[in-house]
Structure 1
Amino acid sequence: MHIHPLVTDTATLADLCARWAKAGFVTVDTEFMRESTFWPLLCLIQVADEHEAAAIDPLAPGLDLKPLLDLLVDNEDVLKVFHAGGQDLEIVYNLTGKTPHPLFDTQVAAMALGQGEQIGYSNLVDSWLGITIDKGARFTDWARRPLDARQIEYAIGDVTHLAAIFPKMLARLRKTGRGAWLDQEMERLGDPANYANDPDEAWKRVRVPSRKADVLGRLKALARWRELEARGKDLPRGRIVKDETLADLAGHFPRRQADLAKVRGLSPNWATNDIGGRLMAALETAAPMAADELPPREDRKPGLGKDGALVADLLKLLLKIRAKEIDVAPRLLARSDELESLAAGQRTGLAMLEGWRHDQFGRDALDLVEGRLAFAVKDGRLAMTRAE
């Protein structure tokens, strides 16, 4: 494979992208920093096909990423391959408002091939190629320039190894007939809604013990305010107000701005400064959360009583057994909330009762809750028996 020098000009990037546009697939990875900013700072993009690979420097003066972004989000003929690509997709979404499509994630695919739910990249490379990755450059400050040859070699390795693994993984998926199993997972991963960061949804990131509508209404208003402050200043959310302080303010809200001086986690200056005033304005606009938006209590799922909880536990045991039998990650077959919904009586709208999931697991899960399947112990081993 031909490895290009670090790409720092638009003409070179455009030439590369023109050739990658004729490839069946490209592998993609990014290096970024986000410790001190709200938006991740994109520092390096690595791309490869089966013949050539390059690292692209988005911090290079005058470099226009448009040829690459067009390839990633607008070219439907080239498959974009990532490993655990959620953060990479977020970066592309922030730049374009779109996500790469069509999409393939090797961590997701590994679930269908019996390699666990979240296999790490180094373990993936070791298992498929027998190569041990040098992890010495993992903690590089990717924003610092110049990057040395070892750093660039390490970064490009992420996509050259992936370009060698993907065809092997695809061949095994075809041989086992499991490629179609992944379509729904890939579509879910590539859904732009995952990366939109809606300020009105920001409260869901903050843990608060109360389920009272007024407390959650204040939390929603405060989390929205913090999200906008953090974006505007390009600072991490926690540098504006930490989660625990936000939760405290929602539960025990100050009546006057002067009271902010007494809140643990806030500077006394907030009692008189502009940001403290904006916080108080957010509290003043807060309304109790609507009933249909209130989260369910974790210990009391709708329709799932004590008996239902026991049935859900049996379903989880069945899931564990079946996943081991067919050598897939359990999460690919069904999710915990689906099992609880089935135990509570739901029979429609569950992915586990449709398509290949129904054939591999859902049919038996339904038989178990409806009394046509049971657990038994035979010769000291757990087995499934069908009712006459």
Structure 2
Amino acid sequence: MQIHPLIATSEELASLVDRLKTQPFIAVDTEFMRENTYWPELCLIQVASTEEAAAIDPLADIDLKPLLDLLVNNEDVLKVFHAGGQDLEIVHNLTGKTPYPLFDTQIAAMALGHGEQIGYSNLIESLLGHSLDKGARFTDWSRRPLDKRQIDYAIADVTHLATVFPKMVEKLRRNGRGAWLDEEMERLADPSSFAFEPEDAWKRLKLPSRNPAVLGRLKAVAAWRETEARSKNLPRGRIVKDDTLSEIVLHPPKTQDDLGKIRGLSAGWRANDIGARLMATIAASKPLEADELPDREPRRPGLTKDGVLISDLLKLLLKIRSKEIGVAARLIARSDDLEALAAGVRKDLNILKGWRFDQFGKDALDLVEGRLGFGVENGKLKMSRIAEAPAD
């Protein structure tokens, strides 16, 4: 595989992209910094095919459009990532779209028995038999110039990815599990996962109360903080920490001067513009309407005491089945689906559809409907069929 020097000109990048367009897939990775900013600062992009690999410097005077177009508009080339959530977020921030079609090797690893969230180094060691150099992982990628070791370290991520991807695809093809991943990859590529309005920011916070007036202030103040953080490109916590935000909405200051008495805010908030904007936000907030109030247990059906026990049995069954077929339990079913099944829900559950039904849902349904039981034989837990499912 040809390894190119760091690409820092638009001409070099355009030439590279022209060649990558002809490939069936490319491996992609990014290096970024976000400790001191709201938006992740893209510092390096690495790409590789089976023939060549390169690192691209987005901090240089370079036009990234050809590469971004390849990622989000060219459906002939598959884009391969490992644990690509943050990489996809960066691309979405730049384009409003996500790479498509895509393949995430961490998700694929779940279908191949490597556990739920295997790290990249462990995956490479497992599939290629050698460990990665981790010496440059704490690099400040925003500093220039980057030395050869840093660039080699970054490029190695995609060269190894381009090597393991075909091996993983072949294993998935042999065991017939490739189609199992389609839904997961589509969900990962959904642009709505990376775009949310400031008005929804409160839903990501721990609720300090269920009082509609408090929640109304939480919604307003969380949206205000999100807007301030975005406009200043600062982490949310640099504007107001979560604990301080909860204190403000629980015990709202009556005057701007009172802001100086709140732990976590500086005395300057008594008279500065940001303090004035916060006070205006609090004053304009309104109690949440009844239809906006969150469920006490979001997305969870009401479980009786027996339902909780049934849910626990389903989790045990899931553990047994995932071990038997060598697939991470998280890929088969999520707790919400198990709790819904235990509560009597039978519609719109992923575990009652497709391969999940064949591999787990059928037994899960038999368990909750009394046709399957657990027993102990010779000190080992086993499942036993009590009755057959009724014919359709």
TM-score (norm 2): 0.97
Counterpart check, 1:134 vs 2:133: yes
Contact 2:301–2:339 (CA under 8 A) maintained in structure 1:
no
Residue 265 of structure 1 aligns to a residue whose secondary structure is coil
Counterpart check, 1:232 vs 2:237: no
In 1, Cα distance between equivalents of 2:222 and 2:240: 9
In 1, Cα distance between equivalents of 2:150 and 2:200: 38
Seen in structure 2, the aligned counterparts of structure 1 residues 322 and 290 have a Cα distance that, compared at 3 Å, is farther
Q: Which residue of structure 1 lines up, in the alignment, with residue 390 of structure 2?
A: none
In 1, Cα distance between equivalents of 2:190 and 2:292: 22
In 1, Cα distance between equivalents of 2:311 and 2:31: 41
In 1, Cα distance between equivalents of 2:301 and 2:351: 19
Residue 349 of structure 1 aligns to a residue whose secondary structure is coil
Q: Which residue of structure 2 lines up, in the alignment, with residue 345 of structure 1?
A: 344
In 1, Cα distance between equivalents of 2:275 and 2:179: 53
**Which shifted more, 158-167 or 310-319?**
310-319
In 2, Cα distance between equivalents of 1:369 and 1:115: 29
Q: Which residue of structure 2 lines up, in the alignment, with residue 365 of structure 1?
A: 364
Alignment of 1:48-87 (within 5 A): 48-61=48-61, 63-87=62-86
Contact 1:206–1:247 (CA under 8 A) maintained in structure 2:
no
* Deviation, structure 1 residue 285: 2.2
* Deviation, structure 1 residue 298: 4.0
Contact 1:296–1:302 (CA under 8 A) maintained in structure 2:
no
* Deviation, structure 1 residue 136: 0.8
* Deviation, structure 1 residue 299: 9.8
In 1, Cα distance between equivalents of 2:2 and 2:205: 47
**Which shifted more, 117-126 or 302-311?**
302-311
Q: Which residue of structure 1 lines up, in the alignment, with residue 45 of structure 2?
A: 45
Counterpart check, 1:121 vs 2:120: yes
Q: Which residue of structure 1 lines up, in the alignment, with residue 147 of structure 2?
A: 148
Residue 31 of structure 1 aligns to a residue whose secondary structure is strand
* Deviation, structure 1 residue 133: 0.7
In 1, Cα distance between equivalents of 2:253 and 2:341: 44
* Deviation, structure 1 residue 13: 0.5
In 2, Cα distance between equivalents of 1:241 and 1:160: 41
Residue 301 of structure 2 aligns to a residue whose secondary structure is coil
Residue 141 of structure 1 aligns to a residue whose secondary structure is coil
Seen in structure 2, the aligned counterparts of structure 1 residues 43 and 300 have a Cα distance that, compared at 3 Å, is closer
Could you give the per-residue CA deviations for residues 133-157 of structure 1, whole angstroms, max 9, x where no partner exists? 1111000000000000000000000
Contact 2:299–2:336 (CA under 8 A) maintained in structure 1:
no
Seen in structure 2, the aligned counterparts of structure 1 residues 31 and 338 have a Cα distance that, compared at 3 Å, is same
In 2, Cα distance between equivalents of 1:286 and 1:375: 54
- Which blocks of at least 5 consecutive residues in structure 2 are unaligned? 388-392
* Deviation, structure 1 residue 208: 2.9
Contact 1:36–1:235 (CA under 8 A) maintained in structure 2:
yes
Runs of at least 4 residues of structure 1 off by over 6 A?
A: none
* Deviation, structure 1 residue 295: 2.8
* Deviation, structure 1 residue 257: 1.5
State the percentage of identical aligned residues.
68
Cα RMSD (Å):
1.3
Seen in structure 2, the aligned counterparts of structure 1 residues 342 and 208 have a Cα distance that, compared at 3 Å, is same
In 2, Cα distance between equivalents of 1:377 and 1:215: 52
Contact 1:109–1:182 (CA under 8 A) maintained in structure 2:
yes
* Deviation, structure 1 residue 301: 4.0
Residue 376 of structure 1 aligns to a residue whose secondary structure is strand
Q: Which residue of structure 2 lines up, in the alignment, with residue 314 of structure 1?
A: 313
- Which blocks of at least 5 consecutive residues in structure 1 are unaligned? none
Contact 1:108–1:185 (CA under 8 A) maintained in structure 2:
yes
Q: Which residue of structure 2 lines up, in the alignment, with residue 11 of structure 1?
A: 11
TM-score (norm 1): 0.98
In 1, Cα distance between equivalents of 2:366 and 2:209: 38
Q: Which residue of structure 2 lines up, in the alignment, with residue 94 of structure 1?
A: 93
* Deviation, structure 1 residue 210: 1.8
* Deviation, structure 1 residue 300: 10
Tell me how many residue pairs correspond in the alignment: 387
